[in-house]
Amino acid sequence: MQDKIILATSPSGPAAQQASWQRQLSNAIRDPAALCTRLGLPEAWLPGASAGHALFDICVPDAFIRRMAHSDPSDPLLRQVLPLGEETVTPSGFVTDPLAEADHQPAKGLIHKYAGRVLLIASPTCAVNCRYCFRRHFPYGDHAPSRAQWQEALDYLRADASLQEAIFSGGDPLAANDRQLAWLVGELAQIPHLKRLRIHTRLPVVIPDRVDDALLDWLESTRLQKVVVLHINHANEINQAVVDACARLKQAGATLLNQSVLLRGVNDSVSALAELSERLFDAGILPYYLHVLDPVQGAAHFDVTDEQARELLADLRNVLPGFLLPRLVREIPGEASKTPL
């Protein structure tokens, strides 16, 4: 079992003091049999689900499950979270650190890959464990700094005047509690050369109630420009609760973008990608990146070839206006930016 932590970073008080989103996360399904039962999957799926779960814990909150079809193993949302026996297959080229992030960690909790921006692992936990995640083997236990330990990372940011943007990543940064996030954002806002705060998150999608007053308080009040990059792979993920959560984020002054991963059996068709872009725009989100799969061990069954990816994008160009077309990219370790395909 890899060491990714699956419990939310939550206050230590009684459940009654937890926010709604924290209770929902505490109650997420973390057992393959429970997920199969909840969705009416045939028992034949259980051995594979258990084998995948042994490599990377299952974690799915009910708010996300409610958007899945019952008794349908090919449901595009379920496919993203259901462990499979295929995860035990390890073809060559699929590795535990596909983006070589271990080479770019100048301080605990910090990853510095690109000029002008730096990434902070603001939380080691997620609200959902996506089976294709390129960080499914990330040593989160080594990157959960205390406030005192954050000082080293903050000193690094203070010392480099070329940095204009701090990026909250994880895990899912919004799995951290708001007191902690407000403190960290406050520290960043005091660094004069920082202009922007970017937040990469799936939580407003998986548990829309995460966008509550406590979150909006610190988001709205910071002097930093705010960009929230959501992670949505399929149009069915966007229900009314997600639309409402996005409206609240926009009202707090955030620019909303989306990045997706091109996933076999989930969104590898022109119709799925076109509908995703349309629904994103309806929710006030601009399609930004469509990533090809990072070759992480355990996710090879999601892979779409480069040739198929390029064909899909060419066909998508014929049905969508340019501003709804995501950029098809790959991240190559050591490159100065994402590489267009």
Q: Is 53 in the site for ligand SF4 (CB under 6 A)?
A: no
Q: Which of 57, 87, 172, 294 binds ligand SF4 (CB under 6 A)?
A: 172
Q: Which of 6, 133, 184, 207 binds ligand SF4 (CB under 6 A)?
A: 133
Listed ranges 126-134, 143-151, 209-217, 221-229: which one lies at the site for ligand SF4 (CB under 6 A): 126-134
| Residue closer to ligand SF4 (CB basis): 75 or 237 | 237
Q: Is 299 in the site for ligand SF4 (CB under 6 A)?
A: no
Closest separation between CB of residue 236 and ligand SF4, Å?
16
| Residue closer to ligand SF4 (CB basis): 139 or 253 | 139
Closest separation between CB of residue 323 and ligand SF4, Å?
25
| Residue closer to ligand SF4 (CB basis): 83 or 171 | 171
Closest separation between CB of residue 56 and ligand SF4, Å?
9
Q: Cα–Cα distances in Å, from 227 out to 86, 125, 158, 162, 208?
A: 36, 21, 21, 19, 17
The site that binds ligand SF4 (CB under 6 A) totals a number of residues, namely 11
Site for ligand SF4 in 219-278 (CB under 6 A): 231
Closest separation between CB of residue 132 and ligand SF4, Å?
7
Give me the 74-113 binding string for ligand SF4, x by CB under 6 A, dash otherwise: ----------------------------------------
Q: Is 129 in the site for ligand SF4 (CB under 6 A)?
A: yes
Closest separation between CB of residue 4 and ligand SF4, Å?
8
Q: Is 135 in the site for ligand SF4 (CB under 6 A)?
A: yes
Closest separation between CB of residue 46 and ligand SF4, Å?
22
Closest separation between CB of residue 253 and ligand SF4, Å?
24
Three-state helix/strand/coil letters over the chain: CCCCCCCCCCCCCCHHHCCHHHHHHHCCECCHHHHHHHCCCCHHHHHHHHHHHHHCCCCECHHHHCCCCCCCCCCHHHHHHCCCHHHHCCCCCCECCCCCHHHHCCCCCEECCCCCEEEEECCCCCCCCCCCCCCCCCCHHHCCCCHHHHHHHHHHHHHCCCCCEEEEECCCHHHCCHHHHHHHHHHHHCCCCCCEEEEEECHHHHCHHHCCHHHHHHHHHCCCEEEEEEECCCHHHCCHHHHHHHHHHHHCCEEEEEEEECCCCCCCCHHHHHHHHHHHHHCCCEEEEEECCCCECCCHHHCCCHHHHHHHHHHHHCCCCHHHCCEEEECCCCCCCCEEC
Q: Where does this chain bind ligand SF4 (CB under 6 A)?
A: 126, 128-130, 133, 135, 170-172, 202, 231
